[in-house]
Structures are given as C-alpha cells and as structure tokens.
Amino acid sequence: MSSTPPGGQRTLQKRRQAQAAKDNKAKQTPTSTRSAGFGGSSNSILKIFTDEANGLRVDPLVVLFLAVGFIFSVVALHVISKVTGRIF
C-alpha cells in the first residue's frame, strides 16, 4: 500500500498526462482510407482507386471500348509492318 496522501503534484501530473494522451489520439490522422471509414485496401486486399478525383472524367464503357480500340491499333501496326516488310 502506498502511503502518499491523495492530491498534490502527482495527481496534477497524472491528469496532464491523460490529457496529453487524449490530445495526441485526437491529432492522429487515420493510417489508411479504410481506417478513416471510406473503404479501400483491407488486410488481404489491395485497392488503389476508391474515390472519384478531379481529372479527365471518362465513363467505364468508354474505357473498355478504347482499350479494345488500342489493341486493334496494335494489330493494325502488325499488319502494316507485315505488308510493308519492315516498319518504316
């Protein structure tokens, strides 16, 4: 049993420490989008794109068509290089 009387310096110090710990906790920013509560990567899943940022907005279907278009453009390059013998 401790024999120190209650109150005094030590109680003040304890209170200050508790307050500091509380402040520290409040100041901490979340470590990931999920811990901030907005989805994103979890412990076994990597997610990179979860928010809609500013930028050149495109529709997903447009992206799919462009991707297919890109593949066809490379196929076209193959055909051109086949026909002309070598590419330029």
Q: Which of 35, 70, 33, 30 has the alpha carbon at shortest distance from 49? A: 33
20 binds other proteins per the rule CB under 8 A? no
The reply to whether 24 sits near other proteins by the rule CB under 8 A is: no
Using CB under 8 A, pick the residue from 26, 54, 83, 84 that binds other proteins: 54
| 21 part of the interface to other proteins, by CB under 8 A | no
Residues 40-53 as b/e (b if ≥16 CB within 10 A, e otherwise) read: beeeeeeeeeeeee
Residue 53 found at the interface with other proteins (CB under 8 A): yes
Q: Which of 42, 25, 26 is nearest to 34 (CA)?
A: 42
- The residue ranges that bind other proteins (CB under 8 A) are 29-36, 38, 40-60, 63-64, 66-68, 70-71, 74-75, 77-78, 80-81, 86-88
